[in-house]
Amino acid sequence: MPGRGARAFRRALHADGADRSGLAALTWAVMLNYATDATMAVALANTLFFSAATGESKGKVALYLLITVAPFAVIAPVIGPALDRVQRGRRIALALSCLGQGLLSVVMALHFDDWLLYPAALGTMVLSKSFTVLKAAVSPRVLPAGVTLVKTNARLTVFGLAASGVFGALAAGFAAVFNSPGALWFTAALCVVDAVLCLKIPSWVEVTEGEVPTSLRADPAKTRQPMGRQLVVTLWGNGMLRVLTGFLTLFAAFVIKAQTEHNASAVQQVLLLGVVGAAAGAGNFVGNGIGARTHFGKPDQVVISCLAGALGMTVLAAVLPGVPTVALLALVAAVCSALAKVSLDATIQDDLPEESRASGFGRSETILQFGWVLGGAIGVLLPAEYWIGFTAIGVVIGIGLAQTVMTHRGRSLIPGFGGNRSVRPDAITRRDRRQESDTVQRPPMSPGREGG
């Protein structure tokens, strides 16, 4: 059985020529990155959520977010544009981000009960999201022949989720035997292995000559490729769905613990939260599986439909509170988020020229990460009452849905961030960029020489 399982995994990993294109090597690195995120979550959740009484636990998480998430919310919009300028050494940058996470995991393991935990956690978050942005920029360079970016990204996500489940369970075992620092030492070891795997990605991912960076502005500089209305629609929809999933991740832990504190043991509380987490994981698998096998002719409308469906389930969770409703919302939100992400990938592939796709993926990942951080912060700040939390996030998602629909129609609630732009702007080619560069660098000719 183990031998057959290993052969089946190898076939899936190398399918469609992924071993020759370099996608298999990138998949290994992405799997270990998902695994380190999962093991880190297990280590921190053990102390932040379940080691204290409800009020104390929420205070600890609020402090954690104040020192880590708040600065990260400021840093997150800067990560994408900064990494967008990395023209050489992307494999080394990926490896360094992994080694940095490993080093900070050691710091957290040694200082788990003092203030150094928080800046180390902030650094880990920044490096993890940097890996995600760099991965998005590298992915278009390792596509097998005949395989789309949509299918590739869905495949990376499915492999990553499988790895996070396996290694998250192992980290839980380390935490049970050696407490949270044990899980952090395990995380550090995985980070070192991941750094080695990053360096095994083929060298052709470094070839970035001729890339044209993207811009969210409707009228950017002539050397940047503007994003069209359809792409901005999918970005708004995906960003709001990430706000919802980030909210659920933290709010569900608090509300389940607060509502079951007097009639359930700590183990039962963890099991109830595990039901919600399992529903979200299953929804992610289902959504990515559907997205990898389905062609959406109008991805912007798919995103709007997903956001509307998630909003409907949020309203139901506010009206009918309880763990079953939260689990159902987690399932629906995960499916909708996965389908919306697949639609975003398809839009980037169709609406941006080849030389701008890597930049487009990097910028979009930054926006999605920022949305998750915003949702998580809302989940901590609100009272642990079902109807209050889901009513509040429902209002936020409703406003986001209105903005997404108005952007689709060419208008906007927020000036400058909507759809007052071309549906698909003309591509800025490499030749256009070179000509613009020549115009800037070369001095103008004198009138006497212009005629020959």
Q: What is the mean pLDDT of residues 301-329?
A: 93
90 vs 110 pLDDT, higher one: 110
As given in the structure block, the two tokens for residue 249 are 């991740």
Among candidate residues 383, 326, 340, 125, the one with its CA nearest the CA of residue 242: 340
Give the model's pLDDT for residue 45: 72
Give 118's pLDDT tier (boundaries 50, 70, 90): confident
- 1-15, 61-75, 428-442: which is most confident: 1-15
Question: Helix crossing, 299-319 with 386-408: angle to 10°?
Answer: 160
C-alpha distances in Å from residue 300, one per residue of 28, 216, 218: 31, 17, 18
| 3-state per-residue secondary structure call for the chain | CHHHHHHHHHHHHCHHHHHHHCHHHHHHHHHHHHHHHHHHHHHHHHHHCCCCCHHHHHHHHHHHHHHHHHHHHHHHHHHHHHHHCCCCCHHHHHHHHHHHHHHHHHHHHHCCCCCCHHHHHHHHHHHHHHHHHHHHHHHHHHCCCCCCHHHHHHHHHHHHHHHHHHHHHHHHHHHHHHHHHHHHHHHHHHHHHHHHHHHCCCHHHHCCCCCCCEECCCCCCCCCEECCHHHHHHHHHHHHHHHHHHHHHHHHHHHHHHHCCCCCCHHHHHHHHHHHHHHHHHHHHHHHHHHHHCCCCCHHHHHHHHHHHHHHHHHHHHHCCCHHHHHHHHHHHHHHHHHHHHHHHHHHHHHCCHHHHHHHHHHHHHHHHHHHHHHHHHHHHCCCCHHHHHHHHHHHHHHHHHHHHHHHCCCCCCCCCCCCCCCCCCCCCHHHHHHHHHHHHCCCCCHHHHCC
pLDDT in tens, 28-56: 999 999 999 889 888 887 665 554 434 45
Residue 321 has pLDDT above 80, yes or no: yes
> Is the alpha carbon torsion for 226, 231, 233, 236 positive or negative?
negative
Per-residue model confidence (pLDDT) at position 187: 94
Count Cα atoms within 13 angstroms, Cβ side, for 316.
16
pLDDT in the model for residue 87 = 57
Between 215 and 80, the more confident residue is 215
Whole-angstrom distance between the N-terminal and C-terminal Cα of the chain?
79
pLDDT of 12 > 70? The answer is yes
**pLDDT in the model for residue 44:** 80
Residue given tokens 């900070």 in the structure block:
104
Rg (CA), the chain: 23
Give dist(CA 336, CA 283) in Å, integer.
8
* Whole-number pLDDT of residue 311: 95
Give the residues across from 225 on adjacent strands: 214
Question: pLDDT, tens digit, for every residue of 60-72?
Answer: 666 666 665 656 6
The sign of the dihedral angle between the CA atoms of 284, 286, 287, 288 is positive
Q: What is the CATH number of domain 217-429?
A: 1.20.1250.20
- For 135-165, the pLDDT digits (tens) are 877 887 888 887 777 788 888 888 998 898 8
Write out the two tokens for 146.
């005949």
Contact of 188 with 107, CB cutoff 8 Å: no
Specify the CATH architecture of the domain 18-203: Up-down Bundle (1.20)
- Residue 434 has a pLDDT of 47
pLDDT in tens, 334-370: 999 999 998 898 888 888 877 777 677 777 877 887 7
Contacts of 321 (CB under 8 A, 6+ apart): 386, 387, 390
Q: Delimit the CATH 1.20.1250.20 region(s) of the chain.
A: 217-429
Considering only 121-130, 246-255, 263-272, which range has the smallest mean pLDDT?
263-272
Distance CA 280, CA 251 (A): 14
